[in-house]
Structure 1
Amino acid sequence: MQSQMQFPSGYGSHLPNYSAPSGHYSQVPNKAAASHLENQYRASYYPGYYSAPAPNAMAPVGSSVLNAQESHQLYNNAPPHSGGSSDRPVQGAVSSASYLHVSAQQSYSAFDNHYSTSVSSSVASQGFPLNSDHYAMPVVSGAMYPNVSYPPVAAGGVYGQTFTSQSLPAVGQFKETNAFSSQSTSVPHSVQQHVPVGYNTTLSTVSSAQAVQDNLSRNLTGSVPKVNNQIHTGGIDSSQPVHSVSQNVPFSKPGAGTSAASAAMSSVRSPAPSLSSKAPSSPSATQSPELPLQEGMQYGGYVNNQASSAPAPLSSSSDDEEEDEEDEEAALDSSSTTSSASPVLNNYDALEGGGYPETRSVTSSPVPSPSVLQTSKASKPFGYGYPALQPGYQNATPPTPVQPSNPGHHSGFQHYAQQYPGVNQLSSSLGGLSLQHSQQPESLRPVNLTHDRNILPVSSVPAPVPNLNSDLRKLNCSPDSFRCTLTNIPQTQALLNKAKLPLGLLLHPFRDLTQLPVITSSTIVRCRSCRTYINPFVSFIDQRRWKCNLCYRVNDVPEEFMYNPLTRSYGEPHKRPEVQNSTVEFIASSDYMLRPPQPAVYLFVLDVSHNAVEAGYLTILCQSLLENLDKLPGDSRTRIGFITFDSTVQFYNLQEGLSQPQMLIVSDIDDIFLPTPDSLLVNLHESKELIKDLLNALPNMFTNTRETHSALGPALQAAFKLMSPTGGRISVFQTQLPSLGAGLLHSREDPNQRSSTKVVQHLGPATDFYKKLALDCSGQQTAVDLFLLSSQYSDLASLACMSKYSAGCIYYYPSFHRSHNPAQAEKLQKDLKRYLTRKIGFEAVMRIRCTKGLSIHTFHGNFFVRSTDLLSLANVNPDAGFAVQMSIEESLTDTSLVCFQTALLYTSSKGERRIRVHTLCLPVVSSLPDVYAGADVQAVVCLLANMAVDRSVSSSLADARDALVNAVVDSLAAYMSTASNLQQSMLIAPNSLKLFPLYILALLKQKAFRTGTSTRLDDRVYAMCQMKSQPLVHLMKMIHPNLYRIDKLTDESTIHVNDRVVPQPPLQKLSAEKLTREGAFLMDCGSIFYLWIGKNCDNNFIKDVLGYPNYASVPQKMTQLPEVDAPSSERTRSFISWLRDSRPLSPVLQVIKDENPAKTDFFQHLIEDRTEAAFSYYEFLLNIQQQICK
């Protein structure tokens, strides 16, 4: 029986139909959602728009995870794609790789139009077309919290119900003007959508670079791809209004991998493509009703504290009614907290809350033509037009007027104008933001790249400091957690287009922190409109009101927030820790839960075929598990299980009370089932002895096996069934190509093509099986981590999908063998220690909010996109990085500051629901030099790397390489066009971008993008996976390693770390000219250290540091430095230990001599030198200069 919900005084009881079955909400949305839709689209909203399929029944998972009907319904509702390499395209989820134009003819000059001008087919990261459906996650019933009822669960539908798409307005006239060509093309007009009588119709004209999928409310379907209507290229302004693109327009296919629209609108400057980071979004973004999402109603939604929120008649409300109801709600709950009783929230989007509907809706309000748009913006007061909340509350309370930017104060309030500055005062305090009127900063100093050869700094490149005043600078988020490609945000999209630089964010949201303020208060203060968490960059109008720094709404300060627990004082809300720290973590209440916190569950799926046993990984894995069993994150409820597989699947009964583990073998891999479901996942503490017995026995159990086949697919199907009730983490260890049952793969690699300079094929998956399985796992809050330990081709491009779409991680050990490759064996051992003991978050969702006028349109990383700005992370780990691309939808002329906030809602391994919030504040600038002055070259390169990976998969590797080169050409050409007195014979860059060409050349020589050099396909795919999931600091080491000379370390330039003296040798150029036969050099590549020893290296160094008498006696496979009591040994070990401590995964050290096979890898990292297939750095600069002068 469902528990009766209790309601506080003044709240009515819910109507009986509120507790309807889960499918109810997809059929008749409540009034809040309905009115929200009316606010956005001004169109009628009838439940008849949606088909409500009958609740799904659980189908046995056999050779296919979904039956044919379900598969068609869930994965094949999008337009046919025009690119990619998959034989069976899947449209199941928004790709974690996101949206990239597939236009082989489009030149990089389209970058000046910055993400928007072409209307081409969108293709997901693995060559799949973007999805049309999202998947709801069924709620697994469990113990109920008092006063909170949980909706019933459908019998087996993993994703609940799917909806059809809505048709939207079609493409209008479009004109593109290029900085390098005056040619233009147009797209024919299409008919405007007809809206039912009685509702306003709006012909939407969207602002520049507005191709972002429309953000949708709960129970809302349809997406709105938008098209750029304002092209500014190199000072040329050609503006034409463009109407919304109809999402149901099928993309035709004029040529291989090229859509008709993109071919028609391709640029004419060169055949090279752009990394077109602004592309049409998903054709449909259906937010399923059972999707767990937690923090308030999405986009303009607030946490619904009114219990009587049953579905109401679907009628539109006038603007006056909406304002009245907004103010009535404000009177009901002025605290804007989530601590009061809430009704059943059946998806995470309704719990985490969303942005503001007005800025993210295509047809929320009439938009004037571009010329009128600019004029009207200038006259708006700061904070104009606070978004309205959804109506749905009918209590009669006199409305309270919305506060203007400099509001008056209600009677009874003391005026705190000086103590609590408003946003305008805060903005005006940012002196010196206009760089063009002050002395030229160092970041704008011109650098002649062809003349100045020594541009590499002597130490690591620091993140640029935003040009804020000292107070805001101290409060800002650490660049290690939150970093923007431009620390000076352009005022308009036109200015961004002129700069030819991408705008995006690099995030490391769950990284390990030594100091993290944890807020335990029951009051979590958030904006009533956009659901932003209170942060250091809000402004207090007086002691009782604060203004949101993202949407500018004025909110009331709740009574509890007036007390400061740190100072134990009352009446100083601006001194609370939430307002003094840009990174905080809240302990969330049950309002942020869809179900009680589940235990930490770990399932290990192990390959035990002959190939796996020969490699010897089982010994290392079992030993690591035995050593770290007590360190696995969790509490007394932690559960663990094991599955092994070869040509059959073996389960292990570890139930408490058994004298020894029992092996249960299932040989029918075409109809896999769980032999004893209740005894395969056991409590870690209750069955610890049986678990230890199994781990001690496993390495020897399959010693004499002759099984060479691998039934990975059926083993994963069984693992999914086993984990579905609770969710958790599946760790898969695979050593070869899957060869039996569902998901079997065939070799696609031609070894003769590894050095090809032309086409690199098979970067996408060969089957959709692993992607479908990942989506199923994500729906049940299960992540799949892959450890691939292969000595031969294993089709990582297909296998990686299981981790990409389930928010897992990928580890790859090529040529792994415990005895023959000790470096890889040591690396696996160190990686496992970190992997098993690092913290973990379960059932996580992450949302990124930004100031009104900015829009996020593309995500990069391993996750599942639940809605246009919400990422579902079944697991989140501290080593995962993410990237997002952004555009400027509305001019930012009304503000001097913009802010970004990411909120990560997760369940800790101890069962606590927590919210980690990061907030970043950056200045807005209006001139092109200011934009270049604030460029963060490392963030720009990392974002371009993510975009290039998508381009490689969806189009071709050659297109991605050309686009990277054109990124340098376009940005430097744009900069040189703004500078005066520059000779054409010089290649000039601002100091902030002086390393840009070097980093791009390094990127082109990486395994992911290099050509002409023998590169195994799995190696290339893994490098691409790393670029999509590594945090910036680790990704930069992978792109451009650091080289140090360490045979002459001294105590002169040192730092002191924990009573340890650490030498700081200067960085060396990555060139063989810096190597000497008399020296020893350490190269830090992120995941591996190469220690190169010259033939004539001093014998004293070899003896003291390596422990051998001379060069000839140093062994070939040396991976450890001995502890020798000598100053040079202590300095060297101290320096290497310091480098290792700065990263989560401990790199392996590999000593290299001239005859060592690893010497080739070492010299391939010397990116400034010429190779047979690639330019030297100087030749690359001359090539860039030649293209600019064309």
Structure 2
Amino acid sequence: VSQVPRRLFQPTGGVEGTRVDKDRRPELSLGSYEILHSEKHAPAALLLAVDVSPAALRGGHVEFVTHQIHTLLSSLKQDADVRVGLLTYDSRVHLYDLSPDLSRPHMMVVTETEDLQLPVREGLLVSLRDCAESLDSVLQLLPEFGADGDDSDDVPLELPVRAGLAVLQGLKCPGKLLIFHSAALIETGNTNSSSGFFGTSKPKSIFQPSEEAVSLAKDCVSQGCGVHLFILSQQDVGGAWPGHIPYLTGGALYTYSYLQGDLDRERFGADLKQVVATDTGYKAELRVFVSKDLRVSGCYGLFVPGPSPAHVTMATLDRRTTLAVELTHTRALDETRGAAIQAVLSYSSQTGEKRSRVHTLTLRSSRHLQDTFRNYQAQTLLAFYCKKMYCSASERPLQELREELQTEVTEALACYRKHGCSSSASAGQLVLPQFLRALPVYINSLRKSEVLLPGLRSSVHQRLQQRCQVLSLDTCSTVRHFYPLLLPLTLPVARSNPQKPEGALRCSAASLEPSGLYLIHAPLTLLLWVGSQVPACTLGELFNTSCFSSLPSGEVKLPALENSLSVGVRSLLSTLTSQVPFARKLLVVKQGDTCEEALQRHLVEDKSPNGGASYADFLYHLHINSVRLLQ
């Protein structure tokens, strides 16, 4: 007989035997709660890695980056307890001892980069309060670096990742690693990633990271190191895509193409500020438990897959991190008990607190298909299929994925026609479930997206980047990506609430009038279409020019003019930008311009430039095929 400690004994009361302490214990009374553990982990650090190769020095990127870092750290002084570290690299790694006891910072050069060993550990990560002056002095000297080492501009991107990871491992703490890279992108070691896509018979291989990238990402996950990569150079066509490690560790890839113009510089500053300011959890573990006769058959998102889809480990996560979980049942579920799902997320906070967040959900089950169709949500299904198909793109042919999407929707419509709708519906009558009426247009947009159906003008790097960016979106943002918001920019709409845009139009060329201005808003795109017959007074109020032919197209910044239209449109743009996780540039497209293809890709109800079917054609094929299934 085992002895039960007194503190674990709790009496029960009533006929049902309910514990009397139920209201005082969250796990007995709440569906969602968070547990603060007594154990304390090391607080997270902020580690900055700056490329000082000859290419970075010649291009002036080092001077720009150090100025931006100085501005960032000045704004962080109110949070002076955060630990900060700095390293620079070319073909070697330069570490900096920022100990406040030193009269000036010490630089240590590590030339053996294959098996990187830290010469010291003390002083590599110091609280901002104690090292602000030392850090500023180092940042001021970095642009004056001489290329006294290897003159080669080729710097493997894995070098700063390994160096930053070694610092965090040596000091046994998690953190964010921000890498500012300017050298040409090269790959090292054997790889089956995007660099070898020419002449291959396996188009799926372009989405597969190299074995070295996966191995390095796993090490980052174990340490809780989230990599954020800022690329300041132009990516070479057919070269290495540098985004696998950042996205697999909860970070992201930011590209700027040599920081051309003030718009790129503003976007860089906004991205840098958002990365540092985002509240982040480290060394996260997600476990999903389900009731009897259910099992977790898949989990889709940006993470390094493990042996079990019910157990996911992540280096970092934030409030925007989204995963899709697929459940399958082995036999008929008990209608009286329903299905129980519990998700337990364990992580450490910025200050090192160990927390576990628990969500428990019980869902009703039914053997009647009518009940199932009544509880469908087209938006949720789109987000699920998007994550599943985009994750499967690294293992399966894209044509097979597009066909599977069409088959799934066709079978759902056939099932509803057979079991859920009135028997009086004729074969020529299109029948859609009430809550799935938007699903065909969503799925068609997903099928013809550039990730699954590449166009002539879409590069491999653009597709890889878009795939990871869309995988990181939540449900609402995913819907907005595949069906953008199309707003006519008249004065009433500019003054309206962008949360509930009353004037939103269907995403079709038929919605555009030559005399109008239209804004297309999606998480990755902000586009302003200008009709050729827009009144000169309207052009003057918004662009400060009265001539359509002299209106610049491409990336622009609207002038700050003191009139109702200009103020309303700029306020609308600011509000919409605050709702997305990416800093975007406004792209102006004039009617009849050669760059109008950028608009056509977002008019998802029409036939796409990459050959994707229009919504009307896709819906017709769905209807015909669903009727044939029942014959």
TM-score category, normalised to shorter length: 0.7 to 0.9
Superposition map of 1:620-769 within 5 A: 621-629=65-73, 637-699=81-143, 701=145, 707-724=152-169, 725-735=172-182, 738-739=185-186, 748=195, 760-765=203-208, 767-769=210-212
- Please give the secondary structure, in 2, of the residue aligned with 1:1020: helix
Offset of 1:1040 from its aligned partner?
A: 1.9
Higher gyration radius (CA): 1
Native 8 Å contact 1:616 1:818 kept in 2: no
Determine if the alignment matches structure 1 residue 1079 to structure 2 residue 519: no
In 2, Cα distance between the equivalents of 1:702 and 1:882? Answer: 46
Name which of 331, 334, 345 aligns with 2:9.
334
Name which of 549, 555, 562 aligns with 1:1125.
562
Offset of 1:904 from its aligned partner?
A: 2.3
Native 8 Å contact 1:1046 1:1065 kept in 2: no
Determine if the alignment matches structure 1 residue 849 to structure 2 residue 289: yes
Quick one: which amino acid aligns to residue 640 of structure 1? V
What is the TM-score with the length of structure 1 in the denominator?
0.48
In 2, Cα distance between the equivalents of 1:905 and 1:1036? Answer: 29
Residues 639 and 1013 from structure 1, CA distance in 2 versus in 1: closer, same or farther, beyond 3 angstroms? Answer: same
- Please give the secondary structure, in 1, of the residue aligned with 2:130: coil
Native 8 Å contact 2:46 2:175 kept in 1: yes
Name which of 992, 995, 1000 aligns with 2:438.
995
Residues 1150 and 610 from structure 1, CA distance in 2 versus in 1: closer, same or farther, beyond 3 angstroms? Answer: farther
Name which of 245, 250, 253 aligns with 1:811.
253
In 2, Cα distance between the equivalents of 1:1072 and 1:964? Answer: 25
Measured against aligned partners, the alpha-carbon deviations of 1:417-469 in whole angstroms (never above 9, x if no partner) come to xxxxxxxxxxxxxxxxxxxxxxxxxxxxxxxxxxxxxxxxxxxxxxxxxxxxx
- Please give the secondary structure, in 1, of the residue aligned with 2:394: helix
Superposition map of 1:227-376 within 5 A: 329=4, 333-334=8-9
Native 8 Å contact 1:1072 1:1166 kept in 2: yes
**Consecutive unaligned residues in structure 2, runs of 5 or more:** none
Measured against aligned partners, the alpha-carbon deviations of 1:854-901 in whole angstroms (never above 9, x if no partner) come to 322211223354755232233222222111111124543253654433
Measured against aligned partners, the alpha-carbon deviations of 1:145-172 in whole angstroms (never above 9, x if no partner) come to xxxxxxxxxxxxxxxxxxxxxxxxxxxx
Native 8 Å contact 1:842 1:908 kept in 2: yes
Residues 996 and 894 from structure 1, CA distance in 2 versus in 1: closer, same or farther, beyond 3 angstroms? Answer: closer
Q: Would you tell me which structure has more strand in proportion to its own residues?
A: 2
In 2, Cα distance between the equivalents of 1:1162 and 1:1082? Answer: 10
Corresponding residue of 2:506: 1069
Measured against aligned partners, the alpha-carbon deviations of 1:74-104 in whole angstroms (never above 9, x if no partner) come to xxxxxxxxxxxxxxxxxxxxxxxxxxxxxxx
Name which of 932, 937, 942 aligns with 2:378.
937
Name which of 298, 311, 322 aligns with 1:870.
311
Offset of 1:557 from its aligned partner?
A: 4.5
Name which of 37, 43, 48 aligns with 1:599.
43
Offset of 1:935 from its aligned partner?
A: 0.8
Corresponding residue of 1:1036: 479
Residues 776 and 1119 from structure 1, CA distance in 2 versus in 1: closer, same or farther, beyond 3 angstroms? Answer: same
- Please give the secondary structure, in 1, of the residue aligned with 2:129: coil
Measured against aligned partners, the alpha-carbon deviations of 1:888-930 in whole angstroms (never above 9, x if no partner) come to 2454325365443333222221233333334445332221111
* Cα root mean square deviation, aligned: 3.5
Residues 646 and 790 from structure 1, CA distance in 2 versus in 1: closer, same or farther, beyond 3 angstroms? Answer: same
Comparing 1118-1127 and 1069-1078, the one that deviates more = 1118-1127
**Consecutive unaligned residues in structure 1, runs of 5 or more:** 1-323, 336-408, 416-540, 546-555, 564-572, 1056-1060
Determine if the alignment matches structure 1 residue 1107 to structure 2 residue 544: yes
- Please give the secondary structure, in 1, of the residue aligned with 2:346: strand
In 1, Cα distance between the equivalents of 2:556 and 2:247? Answer: 32
- Please give the secondary structure, in 2, of the residue aligned with 1:1009: coil
Corresponding residue of 1:491: none
Quick one: which amino acid aligns to residue 137 of structure 2? D
Measured against aligned partners, the alpha-carbon deviations of 1:519-576 in whole angstroms (never above 9, x if no partner) come to xxxxxxxxxxxxxxxxxxxxxx56xx2xxxxxxxxxx344xx656xxxxxxxxx8xx8
Offset of 1:729 from its aligned partner?
A: 2.3
In 1, Cα distance between the equivalents of 2:412 and 2:139? Answer: 56
- Please give the secondary structure, in 1, of the residue aligned with 2:351: coil
In 2, Cα distance between the equivalents of 1:659 and 1:1016? Answer: 51
Determine if the alignment matches structure 1 residue 1183 to structure 2 residue 625: no
Offset of 1:601 from its aligned partner?
A: 1.2
Native 8 Å contact 1:764 1:797 kept in 2: no
Native 8 Å contact 2:287 2:345 kept in 1: yes
In 1, Cα distance between the equivalents of 2:293 and 2:187? Answer: 52
Residues 688 and 926 from structure 1, CA distance in 2 versus in 1: closer, same or farther, beyond 3 angstroms? Answer: same
Corresponding residue of 1:355: none
Offset of 1:1089 from its aligned partner?
A: 0.9
- Please give the secondary structure, in 1, of the residue aligned with 2:205: coil
Native 8 Å contact 1:763 1:797 kept in 2: no
Corresponding residue of 1:886: 327
Measured against aligned partners, the alpha-carbon deviations of 1:596-616 in whole angstroms (never above 9, x if no partner) come to 320221222333445545666
Native 8 Å contact 2:61 2:182 kept in 1: no
Corresponding residue of 1:1136: 573
Quick one: which amino acid aligns to residue 778 of structure 1? V
Q: Among the aligned pairs, what percent are the same residue?
A: 23
Residues 920 and 866 from structure 1, CA distance in 2 versus in 1: closer, same or farther, beyond 3 angstroms? Answer: same
Superposition map of 1:29-428 within 5 A: 329=4, 333-334=8-9, 413-414=13-14
Corresponding residue of 1:1162: 599
Q: Would you tell me which structure has more helix in proportion to its own residues?
A: 2
Quick one: which amino acid aligns to residue 211 of structure 2? D
Corresponding residue of 1:835: 275
Measured against aligned partners, the alpha-carbon deviations of 1:285-319 in whole angstroms (never above 9, x if no partner) come to xxxxxxxxxxxxxxxxxxxxxxxxxxxxxxxxxxx
Offset of 1:943 from its aligned partner?
A: 1.1
Quick one: which amino acid aligns to residue 356 of structure 2? I
Corresponding residue of 2:414: 973
Offset of 1:999 from its aligned partner?
A: 0.7
Aligned length: 621
Quick one: which amino acid aligns to residue 811 of structure 1? L
Highest RCO, 1 vs 2 (Cα 8 Å, sep ≥ 6): 1
In 2, Cα distance between the equivalents of 1:1160 and 1:1129? Answer: 26
Measured against aligned partners, the alpha-carbon deviations of 1:956-1009 in whole angstroms (never above 9, x if no partner) come to 111111112222212112212223222222332112111111111111232211
What is the TM-score with the length of structure 2 in the denominator?
0.87
Name which of 755, 770, 773 aligns with 2:216.
773
Measured against aligned partners, the alpha-carbon deviations of 1:701-752 in whole angstroms (never above 9, x if no partner) come to 4799953211323333222221112232222344566447668999726689
- Please give the secondary structure, in 1, of the residue aligned with 2:556: coil
Measured against aligned partners, the alpha-carbon deviations of 1:186-218 in whole angstroms (never above 9, x if no partner) come to xxxxxxxxxxxxxxxxxxxxxxxxxxxxxxxxx
In 2, Cα distance between the equivalents of 1:330 and 1:1065? Answer: 62
Corresponding residue of 1:858: 298
Comparing 1129-1138 and 624-633, the one that deviates more = 624-633
- Please give the secondary structure, in 2, of the residue aligned with 1:924: coil
Offset of 1:794 from its aligned partner?
A: 7.3
Residues 846 and 670 from structure 1, CA distance in 2 versus in 1: closer, same or farther, beyond 3 angstroms? Answer: closer
In 1, Cα distance between the equivalents of 2:625 and 2:504? Answer: 31
In 1, Cα distance between the equivalents of 2:525 and 2:455? Answer: 24
Quick one: which amino acid aligns to residue 527 of structure 2? Y
- Please give the secondary structure, in 1, of the residue aligned with 2:364: strand
Corresponding residue of 1:900: 341
Name which of 454, 470, 479 aligns with 1:1011.
454
Quick one: which amino acid aligns to residue 962 of structure 1? E
Superposition map of 1:575-586 within 5 A: 579=29, 582-586=31-35
Native 8 Å contact 1:826 1:1148 kept in 2: no
Measured against aligned partners, the alpha-carbon deviations of 1:631-675 in whole angstroms (never above 9, x if no partner) come to 559966532222233333332333324455444333333343323
Measured against aligned partners, the alpha-carbon deviations of 1:822-856 in whole angstroms (never above 9, x if no partner) come to 54443332221111111112232222334444322
- Please give the secondary structure, in 1, of the residue aligned with 2:206: coil
Quick one: which amino acid aligns to residue 860 of structure 1? Y
In 2, Cα distance between the equivalents of 1:974 and 1:1063? Answer: 34
Native 8 Å contact 1:1090 1:1151 kept in 2: yes
